Amino acid sequence: MFGISFSELLLVGLVALLVLGPERLPGAARTAGLWIGRLKRSFNSIKQEVEREIGADEIRRQLHNEHILSLEKEAQRIINPQSVAPQEPATPEVAQPVATGEPALPREPAPAPATHAAPSSHDTPLPPRAS
């Protein structure tokens, strides 16, 4: 991780033995191990919390985008209902044979729905002006 070799660790151990002495070295090593363990656990918990928050933010962002898309589709449907109307599946030219043994008859296409628009002022001609 830090590029520390075994010889460097051995040198640190010898210096610690000389500075602390043989009586205090085991207690100091135990204390150092406890502190290192606590630091690792703290860093791991912080890392997990950040990853959880990033995941939650991503989920929130996706939900927000889906909500915006649904609002856009609804607005398009309201503004121009004919262009966003759901496509009907194409009807086959020949109906499936009936189980009674009757021959299949060709189907006629369904009539298109009629749209009745209210006449606007642009559609009706104006009467000539009296001069």
Q: What is the DSSP string of 44-57?
A: HHHHHHHHHHHHHH
What tokens does 112 get?
A: 């298109």
Q: Which of 96, 112, 114, 93 has the alpha carbon at shortest distance from 104?
A: 96
CB-count burial class (<10 Å; 0-12, 13-18, 19+) for 131: exposed
3-state helix vs strand vs coil in the chain, percent to 5: 55, 0, 40
pTM above 0.95, yes or no: no
Q: What is the pLDDT of residues 53-69, one digit of tens each?
A: 888 888 888 889 999 99
| Residue 94: DSSP 8-state | B
CB-count burial class (<10 Å; 0-12, 13-18, 19+) for 25: middle
pLDDT band at 51; cut points 50, 70, 90:
confident
Q: In the predicted model, what is the mean pLDDT of residues 101-128?
A: 57
Place of tokens 């000539």: 128
Q: What is the pLDDT of residues 78-101, one digit of tens each?
A: 888 776 455 555 555 555 555 555
Q: What is the pLDDT of residue 84?
A: 47
3-state secondary structure of 108: coil
Counted residue by residue, the chain has a size of 131
- Alpha carbon 99 to its chain centroid, in Å, reads 48
